[in-house]
Structure 1
Amino acid sequence: MVDGASAETDGSPPDESASGSDAPGGSDAPGDDAPSDGDTDSIPDDEREALVTIAHGAVVTSGGVSGQRALTAATEFVLARGLGPTAYGVYALAWRIAQLLSRLVTFGSVPALQRYLPEYADDPRRRGVVAGLAYATTLGFGAAIAAGVWLAAPRINDLTVGEAAFPGAMRAFGFLVGFLGVVMVASGIFRAVGSARGEIAFNKLLRPGVRLVAAVAALALGYSIGGVAVGIVAATALLAAVAVPLAARVTGVVPSLRGARLEARRFYDHAAPVAMSSLGKVFQNRVDVLLVGALLTATAAGVYNVVLVLIAIAWIPLMSFNQLLPPVASELYGNGRTATLNAVYASVTRQIVTAVVPILAVLAVYGRELLGLFGDPYVAGYVPLVVYLGGVFVGSAVGATGWLLMMTDHQYARMALDWLLAVLNVALTYAFVVRFGLVGAALGTSLAIAAQNGIQVLLLRRFEGLWPFDRTFLTPLAAGGVAILAMRAVRAAAPGRAAVVVGAAIGLAAYAATLRTLGVDPRDRLVARRLAERYRTALRRRFRR
């Protein structure tokens, strides 16, 4: 999950409800007292500002994340075609393990940046110390992980694919983890100060971009798995060396460890439980990758990796809206504006659902054709893909539950839940993979995502009174059903890859028409109108130049 891959949630600020109902603001659900159709004047100014800020960040981020997914898909396409199913499976397992470790290498530093840099906006010294602690923590854990991977690579190979090329690739990717962590921290600084473009440039575009360039160059020079791995490590190291000074120059947050001892306790009080949550999430929703490698074949690992490439596309809406939600939520919560936070949470979650439903529909209907682009052996991943999409839907439908837990200082509750479900998921996924193969891997992860996010949204309501759902969520669901019927009709009339573009276009048109017919929430219309005006003005100014 990402985490976009899983939504995360829980909390309990002061009750601002005059009537004492569970939802702040005194309504049974946040959208029930929404302005009537066509009426946006009654939306409070602070809510308008927050919604437009988050939506603008989502628009900017969606372009960056879409570019990231395109670059990632291109890299996997090149490698799948260039290496062949078995060799690609070996690479894919080593790469996925490195990705899992990269989730741990910052030791919760990136969420801590989101929590404290906005709070220390008027104190450059404390901002610098927080950034310094983030970098130092990441480098320390990166070195430890590289050493551990170097020693463990042969044993991992014996327990999984048993291929001669795996230990060398895994050892190279062990060094990659630290460099990825540095880039993530630099990107997190951009994000924490509200710069979506900086975070997108480094984390969403340049990071996968250098991997694609390195992979293509290595294959063109005749290298196989080992050469590809070394090339990716070298390119990422160069990116990390550029990212750190550039982030400091652009954001004004200059890393420093002077006075770090005074700041460290508060920093690690937030970062440590988040890091433990991340470790729990590795076992909770990424144990599938490890079990596929350990219990199935190298080819199966390659097929599952391609499934995850398509799944990553479905996480784009959640990731995009979560770009600027954490600092906005931190500010609202810190100022005691819980009612506004709840209204923003409800509106943003509905917008995420509206954006993700058509993506899920296209992947469900045309998944076989899309998997077939990587080669005929990868079509075997269609059923696992559809099963996994169920978890994506639940994770997206509850919104940014995990970020809200962290931004409302409930990181310990999240950590406990992560580990509780991690233990359960390891047992269930192991049983599912042994019994059902690749489908079992997808089923275990999908159930873990659904269980975690379902519990987290209940915890948010219990602790903070935050609750996103109301009847307006039914509109995109109904529109999605119409879109699926339209695409299935096109698929039946014109089967094959050639019908994918036409069918998807017709399905999206049916989705938009149904939304318009059923009616769009006034808050969503307000955001769309404000952003359209903003972009039109920006375009006019640019053309005048």
Structure 2
Amino acid sequence: MKADSERRDTDKGSIGDAASVDDAAATDGSASRDDAVSDDERDALLSIAHGAVVTSGGISFQRGLSVWIELVLTRGLGPELYGVYAFGWRLTTMLLRFANMGANMTLQRDIPAFADDPDRQRRVLGLSYATTAATVFALAVAIGLSANWIDEATISHPTFPRALRLFAVLLILIAFVQLHATALKAALSANGEVLLNRILRPGLRLLSAVAAIALGYSVVGVVGVLVVAFGVLAVTAYPATVRVTGIRPSFSFRGFQSEARHFYDHAIPSALSGIGALLRTRVDVILIGVFLSATAAGIYNVVLVLVGIAAIPLYAFNQLMPPVASDLYSSGRIGTLNDVYRTVTRLVVTTTVPLLAVLAVFGQELLAVFGPTFSRGYGVLLVFLAGRFVGNAVGATGILLSMTNNHYPKMILEWFLAVTNLVLTYLFVLEFGLIGAALGTSVAIAVQNLLQVLLLRRFEGLWPFHPTFLKPLGAGLGMVGVMAVVRTVFDGALAVGVGTVAGLVVFLALLVAFGINPRDRLVVDGLVDQYRYVMGAKLAELR
């Protein structure tokens, strides 16, 4: 802690400078203060922004495919059987949160931190694969043995036990695909991570769903086709990952003991945080399965798919935040880290607001695309959007706590709120039904993120908020007003199309009228120059 305190003391000037630049931006949106931005901050911002551009395209593609996947399955299976699939899929994705026993966060911390020590990088990667294998196989066996009991305790459907055993096999395969992607991310290969995790994964799911439905398969057949597809991906992606990262995992016992101690000191608290986060954010899925019907589980899953669209900006800008934050923190550049954190969070808010506005105003029409039964989830959608806004508005709080070695306080907070969420969601589901599940989870997400901001402020002096955040919020209100008017004039898909276009025009016009922050402009200009240079070089090669 003493070393951390010294790092903060030596970099206080940078934090003060960041505040002054943002103050200037708040009073004069057209002012140019690029000279106040250090080279370190400029490089970090452009690296994160480039990762966000690549990732947002990949995630948008992924979310688009996810919508098509759910459309194919809801139409092909019907509300009840789709609910069986959705409940099994959600259980699988929940278990993926800690299927590698915290190796994902540790890998993202240590690969950039050990850039000058390739042997340690290889040992860390080897430990990650070994830990993932041990954990995920144990989980899969436990699921397979308890499939009948899980079915009786939850949705009680005759096809669910067989489907759940196949989901257990699928869990193993996706866990390794996810670890390949994490290794690419830790090595700052945004393109590789996006290709594997955001394009190939959902692409295979869509192809598998279409093929299974075309062949007349039911739930068990759909999951079986997924197992085959992901088995091929897990095997073929490994050599590609090693080639791109340049790091081949080492399973040698040499130096294993000391490395394992360092590795698990971070990985185990991260895993426990993941379990706490799981209970905090997805206990609602379990309670819906216990107290409500398979159809309710299907409705809830479709709502979560739409809410996932609003999470795109946060995931995109957080793509390269872990290695960048680890590098800045380990080298003592805390002030620069704060500057980056504030700017990135403001960019997340700016890109989140229009997505939330469209989903809130036209949510009922969007849900109806999946079938008339799913329109019942509109109230659930609105509750989740409120929680999603708070989660996006605080930025990379969880990542920064882990990258600044505050993983133990994070773990304690996760578990405290997990218990709180379990109690609240249980009471809300019994009292309010489906919307109660969303209410309990959204409250827990909001409280969690706000408390994590306070922890970052307390331990590291990092603080993301600034009055300039009000500009995109004001523009968002104008966008909502325009879309609400359009909704009274048009109906259905026409209202969504016309309203979205008109709303975006108003949002951008108001944003420009309020003034663009100089740091935000620096990021945009830097990316434009970078891509112009790359495109020019490519055109020159073609000539």
What range is the shorter-chain TM-score in? Answer: over 0.9
Q: Is the 8 A contact 1:17 1:24 kept in 2?
A: no
Alignment partner of 1:170 out of 164, 183, 199: 164
TM-score (norm 2): 0.96
| 5+ residue gaps, structure 2 | none
Pick aligned residue for 2:141 from 136, 147, 168: 147
Kept in 2, the 8 Å contact 1:391–1:446? The answer is yes
Aligned equivalent of 1:355: 351
**Structure 1 residue runs of 4 or more that deviate by more than 6 Å after TM superposition:** 18-21, 26-30
Instruction: Tell me how far 1:541 sits from its aligned partner.
Output: 2.5
Distance 1:106 1:20, change over 3 A: closer
Residues 1:127 and 2:121 aligned together: yes
Deviation of 1:34 after TM superposition, in Å, equals 5.7
Superposed CA RMSD in Å reads: 1.7
Q: Which amino acid aligns with 2:267?
A: A
Q: Quote how far apart the aligned CAs of 1:236 are.
A: 0.8
Decide whether the 8 Å contact of 2:12 with 2:335 is kept in 1. Answer: no
2:97 aligns with one of 90, 103, 106 = 103
Matched, 1:185 2:179: yes
Q: Distance in 1 between matches of 2:287 and 2:9?
A: 48
Are 1:261 and 2:252 counterparts? no
Deviations 1:467-492 (A, max 9, x none): 01111000000000000001111111
Identity %: 51
- 1:241 equivalent to 2:235? Answer yes
Following superposition of structure 1 onto structure 2, how do residues 211-226 of structure 1 map, counting pairs within 5 Å?
211-226=205-220
1: CA distance between counterparts of 2:388 and 2:418? 18
- AA aligned opposite 1:290: I
Instruction: Classify 1:25/1:346 alpha carbon distance in 2 versus 1 (closer, same or farther; 3 Å).
Output: same
What letter corresponds to residue 38 of structure 2 in structure 1? P
Distance in structure 2 (CA, Å) of the matches to 1:500 and 1:137: 47
Once the two structures are superposed, residues 235-291 of structure 1 have per-residue CA deviations (whole angstroms, 9 ceiling, x without a partner) of 111111011111011111101111333311111111100000111111101011111
Query: In the alignment, residue 385 of structure 2 is paired with which amino acid?
Result: L
Higher helix share: 2
Structure 1 segment 97-496 matched on structure 2, within 5 A: 97-258=91-252, 259=254, 260-496=256-492
Kept in 2, the 8 Å contact 1:142–1:175? The answer is no
Q: Which moved more, 1:172-181 or 1:399-408?
A: 172-181
Alpha-carbon distance in 2 for matches of 1:124, 1:34: 43
Contact 2:21–2:36 (8 Å) recurs in 1: no
Structure 2: distance between partners of 1:396 and 1:30: 23
Residues 215 and 38 (structure 1), Cα distance of their counterparts in 2 relative to 1, 3 Å cut: same
Per the alignment, do residues 540 and 20 of structure 1 end up closer, same or farther by CA in structure 2, a change over 3 Å counting?
Answer: closer
Q: Residue by residue, what CA displacement relative to the aligned partner does 1:351-383 show, whole Å, maximum 9, x if unpaired?
A: 000000000000000000111111110000001
Deviations, residues 328-350 of structure 1 (Å, cap 9, x unaligned): 11111011110100010000000
Asked if the contact 1:283/1:426 (under 8 Å) is kept, the reply is yes
Question: For the structure 1 residues 27 and 318, does the alpha-carbon distance in structure 2 shift closer, same or farther, using more than 3 Å as the test?
Answer: closer
Instruction: Give the secondary structure class of the aligned counterpart of 2:36.
Output: coil
> How far did 1:495 drift?
2.3
Q: Which has the higher contact order (CA 8 A, sep 6+)?
A: 1
Residues 208, 226 of structure 2: 8 Å contact kept: yes
Q: Determine the C-alpha separation between the residues in 2 that align with 1:13 and 1:138.
A: 35
Taking the TM superposition and a 5 Å limit, the aligned residue runs for 1:21-32 are 24-25=15-16, 31-32=22-23
CA contact 1:31–1:343 (8 Å) conserved in 2: no
Letter aligned with residue 166 of structure 1: F
CA–CA separation in structure 2 for the residues paired with 1:389 and 1:408 = 29
Q: Are the aligned partners of 1:12 and 1:462 in contact in 2 as well (CA < 8 Å)? A: no
CA-to-aligned-CA distance 1:26-66 (integer Å, 9 cap, x gap) = 77688336696223222111111111110110000000011
Instruction: Decide which moves more: 151-160 or 473-482.
Output: 151-160
